[in-house]
Amino acid sequence: MQATMTAQRVQRPFGEMLTLFEEHFKTLQLPAQPETLYGSIEYICSIGGKRVRPVLCLMANELFTELKDDAFRAGSAIELFHTFSLVHDDIMDRAPIRRGMPTIHARYGEPTAILAGDLLLIHAYGNLGSISHCCKDQIIELFSSTASGICEGQQIDMDFEAMPIWKVRYEDYLEMVILKTSILLAASLQIGAILAGASEADQHHLYEFGKYVGVAFQIQDDYLDVFGSDEKFGKQCGGDIKSNKKTFLLLKAFELASARQRRQLETLMATDHQDKVMEMTRLYEECRVGEWARNQKRYFHQLAFSHLDKMLLPASAKRPLTELADWLLAREY
Amino acid sequence: MQATMTAQRVQRPFGEMLTLFEEHFKTLQLPAQPETLYGSIEYICSIGGKRVRPVLCLMANELFTELKDDAFRAGSAIELFHTFSLVHDDIMDRAPIRRGMPTIHARYGEPTAILAGDLLLIHAYGNLGSISHCCKDQIIELFSSTASGICEGQQIDMDFEAMPIWKVRYEDYLEMVILKTSILLAASLQIGAILAGASEADQHHLYEFGKYVGVAFQIQDDYLDVFGSDEKFGKQCGGDIKSNKKTFLLLKAFELASARQRRQLETLMATDHQDKVMEMTRLYEECRVGEWARNQKRYFHQLAFSHLDKMLLPASAKRPLTELADWLLAREY
């Protein structure tokens, strides 16, 4: 009987899940007053984003069961948390623009942005609290440890930015990226799976899948900043180079560079010359970090898929997840 | 049998409860890394504070039952939340000093202070999550609505600061103070009572008791800034006047003032003259706001006690709470 039900169920693709999630997310009621505060929250929630994390939660849920209301509650908590972290990160990074629009602190001032972030975090927990599933405690614990990890990742990132490049080890940098970028994707999937009553093994494989998709995505992002075309990338290339941001590519370039090339990298980093981006890109090419990055991205992409493969489900059921990962990682080299 | 047990139990006074709470609070384990982040949290937690809120939670708990482990968990969550709100408020208010020591943002920089606050909030929820009582959901809901209210209160306070004084209504100001100062005291008591299985009526009376003690305390604080002596107040008097801070006294002075006095108040507020504090204090005396404030404080103090009176418990059981309120509100006029 259960086999028949599984066979009849069709796993929805990203677009369809997104529509379902948006419909639910719009129904969340926030107070109207004080207008400054809740207006700023409505503003940041309305300018959107891809909603990848809550959709991952829904997809993981539908892998094992009919889609549950609790998955929407958890998905909302995840999206509110993600928005909280963007709002506070943008203050810390002094970023004026997010998703093509002014950031909250740029538009409403920093004090309101701090409070808006705080309220988003409180409402994230409020949504978790409305889950009726018996594993609610386990979910809140996973959510909290993920939330702590993301804050730690942001601090480690800031610590790295203040360190000389040769002091940052690649392994530590990778660990930071996993905290800052990957574990929320991973936890979103695991929470969806927990709410579906999935086995611990399947929860683990989904977690690892999300984790490595996140790493591959970040490598791609760093790569495109250097080697992407402006139009396709959607933002101006070379931004990371101009600001001396520590990226996978810069760290690896230092590792692969000869003594002469290393001196050139350091000299370039100390300048604001108009040819800086071009010169740095040339050095990256000399050190073959572009090739390295393409290989690394492929490696993590495959590592992610190897975890999906280990789950005893028909390939058709996993298709929405593989398609989503392929889509996220299909941006042009 | 139960009556005998109640008779045997002795409700501990503030000092004793404080020691018990500090012992528990010290055992909370935080990670060591990243050191910047957790070091800043340890710093702010170690410079203390009166721990009034968690002790209120414990006292309310012991009013009805043997002191429960869950009350310590809830008390820790409350203290972590309170610390979170101080850390973020200090950033918003650009305050360099808290409890005689540099604030987190002054010592560790603003980005770390934002993250430290975020982590304190996340760990507050973590402590709530460890409660084993069957009413945990109700407690988390009360905690979250209280947390939202406090953030709203901070925003309303900032909105008021940006408004001309005549636009701020006394009732709205009182409502803001209740959000910003009172509801956490009130909720701390109610949470302790819920964990003891107290009746809804008793929960309500404890909540109202905490709320009105909070209002009386804020009126006293505003009063002492003007009429206190520097030594006894522990900080320099007149700070609110110098910064044109909207306080109970300033709002009431505008209400009670004649047209001539109101013009004088406005003129004084527009200056930085060295006699500003003295002149303003003289005007306050002319308008008799000092007398009004003493009466208002007494009114709210009594209103708080009227709610304790309505609880069907022996006076001896309530003594620690009445003594604590009297101590908080006994600072010299």
> Which DSSP string do the residues of B169-218 spell out, in sequence order?
-HHHHHHHHIIIIIHHHHHHHHHHHHHTT--HHHHHHHHHHHHHHHHHHH
In the block, tokens 């791609």 appear at A220
Q: Do B159 and A91 touch (CB under 8 A)?
A: no
**Distance (Å) from the C-alpha of residue B142 to the closest C-alpha of chain A?**
10
Kindly state the tokens that stand for B40.
């800043």
Where does residue A103 rank: exposed (0-12), middle (13-18), buried (19+ CB within 10 A)? Answer: buried
Q: Do A34 and B148 touch (CB under 8 A)?
A: no
Counting every residue written for chain A, the total comes to 333
Mean pLDDT by 10 residues, chain B (333 residues): 54 95 93 94 90 98 96 98 97 92 96 98 96 93 98 97 93 97 98 98 98 97 86 68 93 95 94 92 95 96 97 94 95 55
Within 8 A of B36 by CB-CB distance, chain A residues are: 155, 158-159
How many CB pairs below 8 A link A and B? 103
Q: Among B305, B300, B73, which Cα is nearest to B194's?
A: B73
**To probe the interface with A, which of B37, B93, B156, B159 has the most A CB atoms within 10 Å?**
B37
Which stretches of chain A drop beneath a pLDDT of 50? 1-7, 333
In the block, tokens 């909370």 appear at B28
Kindly list the residues of chain B whose beta carbon comes within 8 Å of any beta carbon in chain A: 31, 33-34, 36-37, 84, 88, 91-92, 110-112, 114-115, 117-119, 121-123, 125-126, 129, 137, 140-141, 144, 147-148, 151-152, 154-156, 158-159
Q: Could you tell me the domains of chain A?
A: 199-332 (1.10.600.10)
Across the interface, of A31, A88, A141, the residue whose CB is closest to B114 is A88
Q: Do B129 and A111 touch (CB under 8 A)?
A: no
3-class secondary structure, A34: coil
3-class secondary structure, A101: strand
**Cα→Cα distances B307→A130, B142, B209, B320, Å:** 32, 20, 6, 15
With beta carbons less than 8 A apart as the criterion, state whether A171 and A141 touch: no
* pLDDT tens digits along A254-282: 999 999 999 999 999 999 988 999 999 99
Given this model, what pLDDT does residue A239 score? 87
With beta carbons less than 8 A apart as the criterion, state whether B197 and B64 touch: yes
**Residue in chain A nearest B122 by alpha carbon:** A144
**To probe the interface with B, which of A89, A122, A152, A180 has the most B CB atoms within 10 Å?**
A122
Average pLDDT, chain A: 93
In the block, tokens 């990203």 appear at A14
b/e for B114-144, b at 16 or more Cβ within 10 A?
A: bbbbbbbbbbbbbbbbbbebeebeebbebbb
Given this model, what pLDDT does residue A114 score? 98
**Distance (Å) from the C-alpha of residue B141 to the closest C-alpha of chain A?**
7
**Residue in chain A nearest B105 by alpha carbon:** A92
Phi and psi at A65, nearest 5°, equal -160, 170
Across the interface, of A122, A148, A158, the residue whose CB is closest to B148 is A122
Given this model, what pLDDT does residue B333 score? 43
**Distance (Å) from the C-alpha of residue A122 to the closest C-alpha of chain B?**
6
**Residue in chain A nearest B38 by alpha carbon:** A152
Q: Among B88, B131, B190, B178, which Cα is nearest to A121's?
A: B88
Q: Among B84, B105, B85, B83, which Cα is nearest to B94's?
A: B105
Across the interface, of B34, B125, B148, the residue whose CB is closest to A159 is B34
* pLDDT tens digits along B162-213: 999 989 999 999 999 999 999 999 999 999 999 999 999 999 999 999 999 9
**Residue in chain A nearest B140 by alpha carbon:** A129
Q: Rounded to whole angstroms, how far apart are CA atoms B55 and B82? A: 13
Q: Do B122 and A151 touch (CB under 8 A)?
A: yes
Q: What is the DSSP-derived secondary structure letter of residue B167?
A: G
CB atoms under 10 Å from CB of B330, counted, come to: 11
Kindly state the tokens that stand for B199.
């009746």
* pLDDT tens digits along B293-304: 999 999 999 999
Given this model, what pLDDT does residue A231 score? 57
Given this model, what pLDDT does residue A237 score? 75
With beta carbons less than 8 A apart as the criterion, state whether B43 and B104 touch: yes
**Distance (Å) from the C-alpha of residue B156 to the closest C-alpha of chain A?**
6
Q: Rounded to whole angstroms, how far apart are CA atoms B333 and B329? A: 10
Q: Among A60, A45, A55, which Cα is nearest to A21's?
A: A55
